Structure 1
Amino acid sequence: MMPPDSPTPDMILPQPPNGTRYGMVNRRLGVLFVGRVNAGRSMMAEALLRHHAGHRFDAHSAGLTPVDRPNPYALARLRAEGVATGGLAPKPLERFMAPDAPPVDIVITVSELAATGMAGAWPSQPVTAHWALPDPDPALYPDADAPEVLVDAIFQDLRRRIDVLSVLPAHCLLALSQWRDEDEDGLRTA
C-alpha cells in the first residue's frame, strides 16, 4: 500500500476535464467545517481533524450565526476522548471569507441551514461536501439525557468521516475541485 501522499501514476489518477495535471501536494490543506451556530458539530469536526490529521490539514470551523460559547456536551465528549479543546470558540463565517483569511481548500457543511446558506458563496473553487448531522443544541431536547446521547452519536459519526477524510490523498482531493458534478456521497463543487 502506498503512503497517502505518494505520487500516483497518471493513468490511475483521475484527470479533470480541462486537462490540468496534479502531482504531489507539499502543504497542509485548509478545511473549514461550517455549521449553524458553530458550537457543536462543526467545532467537534475541527477538533477531531486537528487531533487525527493536523499534520496534513489546517482545520477550522465557523457558523452562519455563531453563539457566545461552545456546546458543553460537545466539549465534554471531546475531552473524554483526549481531544484538545483549548482555543475552541464559535467564529463567524465572514472571518474565513476575508482577503487575509487562511486558505480554504475544502468546505464541509454540517447543517442543512449552512448547506443552503452557503450555496455559491465561495469565489474560489474549494471542494465542498455536506455531512447531514442532527442539531445537538440542548435547548431542543426536553429529556435531560438526550443532548449527551445525541452528541455521542454525532461524535462517533464525525470520527468515522474524519478517519476517511484524513487518509484520502491530498492531490486527489484537490483534483475534485475541478469537477462540476455531484456524486452520491455529497462531494460537489460550485
Structure 2
Amino acid sequence: MMPPDSHPLRDAPLSQPPRAVMDRRLGVLFVGRVNAGRSLMAEALLRHQASHRFDAHSAGLTPARDLNPLVLERLRAEGIATDGLAPKALDHFMRPEAPPVDIVITVSELAATGMAGAWPGQPVTAHWALPDPDPARYPATPVDRRRLVDTIFQDLRRRVDVLAVLPAHCLLALSQWGDDEDAGLRTAG
C-alpha cells in the first residue's frame, strides 16, 4: 500500500526523452469531423502561439471542400495567419512519409470514437469536446452561428495557451519514452 501523501506520477522518477525528440518541435494533429472549423482553428492558434515548440496540423475524417467562412473571418479578425489553411484528409497523416505526430487531439465526438487505437507510433492522445460550428448541423440564425464560433474560438484559445506553455516534464509524466531512436511521445501502457 502506498503512503497517503505519495502520488505515483509525482513520486516516479522521470527519465529523459531521446535526444532526437528533444531536438525537434513536437508534431500536434488536431482531428475533426470535416476539418473546416474547430480543428483548423486549433491548428492556426497553435501555430500563432507556439510555432517555436510545435508543428501544428489538422485533418478531418471526411474533409470539407472549404473552410467555414465564419472561422476564417474570426481568425483574421484576431490577426492570426490563415495562409495555407484548408481541409485535409486524415489518411495523409497515416502514411509513412507523413510529418511526425507526437500528440493527437480530437475535437469532435465522431473523431474521438472513430480514431481509438488507430495511430501509428502511439502518440499521446486527448479529446477536447467542442460544439460543431457547421451551419448544416447548427440550424440557427447567422448571429447565433457567429456567437458559437466566437465561443469555440475563446475555448480553443484557452486550451492552446495551456498546451503552448506545458513544460516537458508534464508531457513526460503523461507518457513513457520508447527505447528506439525517435520514439516520440508514447501513451502510458
TM-score range, shorter chain: 0.7 to 0.9
Following superposition, the deviation at residue 21 of structure 1 comes to: 3.5
**1:26 and 2:23 aligned:** yes
Provide the residue aligned with 1:83 in structure 2: 80
**1:101 and 2:95 aligned:** no
Following superposition, the deviation at residue 178 of structure 1 comes to: 2.2
Q: Which runs of 5+ in 1 are unaligned?
A: 1-11, 180-187
* Equivalences for residues 41-190 of structure 1 within 5 A: 41-139=38-136, 140-178=138-176
Provide the residue aligned with 1:7 in structure 2: none
Three-state SS of the structure 1 residue aligned to 2:156 is helix
Distance (Å, rounded) in 2 between the aligned partners of 1:136 and 1:57 = 26
Identity %: 73
Three-state SS of the structure 2 residue aligned to 1:138 is coil
The structure-2 alpha-carbon separation of the partners of 1:174 and 1:103, relative to structure 1 and needing over 3 Å to count, comes to: farther
- Letter of the aligned partner of 1:91 in structure 2? K
Distance (Å, rounded) in 2 between the aligned partners of 1:27 and 1:174 = 16
- Letter of the aligned partner of 2:17 in structure 1? Y
- Aligned CA-pair RMSD: 2.2
Following superposition, the deviation at residue 154 of structure 1 comes to: 0.3
- Letter of the aligned partner of 1:87 in structure 2? G
Instruction: State the TM-score, normalized to the length of structure 2.
Output: 0.82
Q: Which runs of 5+ in 2 are unaligned?
A: 1-9, 178-186
The structure-2 alpha-carbon separation of the partners of 1:15 and 1:71, relative to structure 1 and needing over 3 Å to count, comes to: farther
Distance (Å, rounded) in 2 between the aligned partners of 1:160 and 1:61 = 18
Three-state SS of the structure 1 residue aligned to 2:154 is helix
Instruction: State the TM-score, normalized to the length of structure 1.
Output: 0.82
Three-state SS of the structure 1 residue aligned to 2:122 is coil
The structure-2 alpha-carbon separation of the partners of 1:14 and 1:61, relative to structure 1 and needing over 3 Å to count, comes to: farther
Size of the aligned set, in residue pairs, is 169
Following superposition, the deviation at residue 29 of structure 1 comes to: 0.4
Q: Deviations over 1:154-183 (max 9, x none)?
A: 00000000000000123532552329xxxx
Three-state SS of the structure 2 residue aligned to 1:60 is strand
- Letter of the aligned partner of 2:144 in structure 1? A
Provide the residue aligned with 1:6 in structure 2: none
Distance (Å, rounded) in 2 between the aligned partners of 1:15 and 1:47 = 35
Following superposition, the deviation at residue 146 of structure 1 comes to: 1.4
Distance (Å, rounded) in 2 between the aligned partners of 1:116 and 1:149 = 27
The structure-2 alpha-carbon separation of the partners of 1:72 and 1:189, relative to structure 1 and needing over 3 Å to count, comes to: farther
Distance (Å, rounded) in 1 between the aligned partners of 2:173 and 2:24 = 15
